[in-house]
Chains A and B, each alone.
Chain A
């Protein structure tokens, strides 16, 4: 019965003069999200609302479409707070509207003794009957048709919305959307993506605030396998469901890692390695218009994520580093990962380059001066190695 969705959005509504930019971005993201869904979708703005008319490729007006798939896709579009399947009817007078409303209830519910309330909204002021009067008339018709139903204006079980515009829209269910802001309205950032649980969640969180992302992954063959790389591509693809297309930079990091291993104390290996990862990621960020770096770090989770270690890796960056998970517990991160469907992929047992040479007792309180002095030992070859790593980086577009 539902061929139309009404999209409710939250924060965008308060954006003043820039509002249309946010709405346009939302329309664009909705179109992107619906591309793989079976059906033909017409997304349009009308009087401060976004509607989607649905049909099939062959018959956009009346054909069948994948309703469940449409809802699932819309649940991935940031900026949407509510997805309302609506019945769109022509205005053929209040009598017919009463009949339409009764038909709506019959089809959408197994009507027994539920309580209800009619909430009419007359957006088209030329409609001859005032909202309160519409409520009253429709409420009367419903009680006539279903004598077992009762009116409850405070906590109704069925809240029946009737919006009178060019056409009339009837809906009662609001499926929650993911919230946030439309991707593309808040600039772009570079995500340091590993194969773990945290970084995909960090990417998701930053996108939720409307930020478009690219990603950098550090590959260390033969210590990490092609399958580990494929896993990261798969994770990027999952995030792209929310984020839109992602450019994934795959950096071959082996030679840098081995050089650090040869020259520096082993307990500092991870910190120094991460400093070089930040430097390289920042290089690609600047080159491709990202304004910040994003990592999945959370305070104290591992040795390289103590306050001192974070400070030591942060020091090499000249652009902001955002850590959306900084205050999250592991379980909270896992919960999000499960919800956005990255968890199962993240726990596949391929080794990533952060763990291959990890020392038994890595430093947890690195002293910046000591780290800098250790890095001096790399002077001879490191610039050359970093340059080679950057030049040989492979960029994969994922969506």
Chain B
């Protein structure tokens, strides 16, 4: 049996997404910038894709820009907006548990002379709204907070944060990295008070290499990629029509079954958390039920290094991740996010993340738990002295 429980790293495409992508590659293969009929057909597909995404967010399709994925979206939102608004101020705010695709551009901006405040999180992985309010200065121009943390599944108080930021200074831009939230829960930037929002297709059963950045029409932002002037000159480069079509199809499917899927995830989560709690010496980091993301469970297995447990599970067909897959090939194997939760060292180096997708079944969860129950006593017997 196989249990793929690493859906927050990436997901398998659905067949309908595959078909949409193949159609765009084989039939609608024109370049939307071409003047002939084939170009026009491709442009139409692209516009439909943009409209589909806009509907899921309840925004205007003019506010959707396709990118190569969330890393580009985050880079563009932060660097492009900071550059366009630097006369208004040089201060930026983010959290200590962001994805590297936010943290690294922030570090780059620091090198360019911006000041950055990193908000701490509590043991559940959430920021404090009071901290946020206190961090805002007269020259703060941008706040960036992730919606759902990719490693522990903590949900940040985005709506409240949006309110407090606006109350303090409505000109401050609010960016949200929604990679782990989009397609998993309703995300409405206008009511949340969010000015820019990043998302990616491959986390929601779409293809890799495509994502989008929502940019509210009021936002002043510079483009990062210059060239042929595609997407109103804001993001040059031949339009990735197959990607855009695949992303739209994936988003449409995710939001069509949102409620059903959420209940499915919550049931899987309950099953997994109860099962883990029944195993000896397991520490669960994620919040139960709807207090955290429904599709992510993070837990530590003291006495076993996470890498060893990961490979032992893999030998039996269970795929999980240690920390997050994105940060797994760094020199320092311990997750920076988990460190921010101030876990004991033995928990830090023994933490695994289990994450669900649409195809995850209760049988897979049971198989995973059963395999853990077999492995843990054996692995705990052989340790360093």
**Total cross-chain contacts (CB, 8 A):** 31
Q: Which of A222, A226, A258, A356 contacts B384 (CB 8 A)?
A: A356
Q: A222-B314, A258-B382 are in contact. List 20 more A-B contacts (CB 8 A).
A: A221-B315, A222-B309, A222-B310, A222-B312, A222-B315, A223-B311, A225-B311, A226-B311, A266-B385, A349-B331, A349-B332, A349-B333, A351-B307, A356-B384, A357-B382, A357-B383, A357-B385, A358-B384, A359-B385, A360-B384
- B331-351 at interface with A (beta carbon < 8 Å): 331-333
A399 contacts chain B at the CB level, 8 A cutoff: no
Instruction: Kindly list chain A residues whose C-beta atoms are within 8 Å of the C-beta of B309.
Output: 222
A3 to nearest B CB, angstroms?
41
Q: Are B315 and A261 in contact (CB under 8 A)?
A: no
- B273-322 at interface with A (beta carbon < 8 Å): 307-312, 314-315
Main SS at interface, chain A: loop
Q: Are A222 and B333 in contact (CB under 8 A)?
A: no
A356 CA / B305 CA spacing, docked (Å): 10
A226 CA / B307 CA spacing, docked (Å): 11
Q: Are A223 and B308 in contact (CB under 8 A)?
A: yes
- A228-244 at interface with B (beta carbon < 8 Å): none
The 3 closest A-B pairs by CB, nearest first: A222-B311, A222-B312, A359-B385
Q: Are B315 and A357 in contact (CB under 8 A)?
A: no
A58 CA / B383 CA spacing, docked (Å): 61
A-B contact pairs, 8 of them (CB 8 A): A222-B312, A225-B307, A258-B382, A261-B382, A349-B333, A357-B382, A357-B383, A360-B385
A360 CA / B385 CA spacing, docked (Å): 6
- A90-104 at interface with B (beta carbon < 8 Å): none
- A220-275 at interface with B (beta carbon < 8 Å): 221-223, 225-226, 258, 261, 266
A89 CA / B310 CA spacing, docked (Å): 65
A216 CA / B332 CA spacing, docked (Å): 28
B306 to nearest A CB, angstroms?
11
A351 CA / B309 CA spacing, docked (Å): 14
Instruction: Kindly list chain B residues whose C-beta atoms are within 8 Å of the C-beta of A226.
Output: 311
Given contacts A222-B308, A223-B308, contact A357 B384 (CB under 8 A): yes
A225 CA / B309 CA spacing, docked (Å): 11
Instruction: Kindly list chain A residues whose C-beta atoms are within 8 Å of the C-beta of B331.
Output: 349
A357 CA / B382 CA spacing, docked (Å): 8
Closest residue to A221 on the B side, CB-wise? B311
Closest residue to A359 on the B side, CB-wise? B385
Closest residue to B309 on the A side, CB-wise? A222
A359 CA / B309 CA spacing, docked (Å): 20
Closest residue to B313 on the A side, CB-wise? A222
Instruction: Kindly list chain A residues whose C-beta atoms are within 8 Å of the C-beta of B307.
Output: 225, 351
Closest residue to A348 on the B side, CB-wise? B331
A223 CA / B379 CA spacing, docked (Å): 9
Interface string of B370-385 (1 = CB under 8 A from A): 0000000000001111
Instruction: Kindly list chain A residues whose C-beta atoms are within 8 Å of the C-beta of B315.
Output: 221-222
Instruction: Kindly list chain B residues whose C-beta atoms are within 8 Å of the C-beta of A351.
Output: 307
A200 CA / B298 CA spacing, docked (Å): 39
A349 CA / B102 CA spacing, docked (Å): 25
A94 CA / B301 CA spacing, docked (Å): 84
Closest residue to A355 on the B side, CB-wise? B384
A356 CA / B312 CA spacing, docked (Å): 14
A392 CA / B42 CA spacing, docked (Å): 54
A225 CA / B329 CA spacing, docked (Å): 12
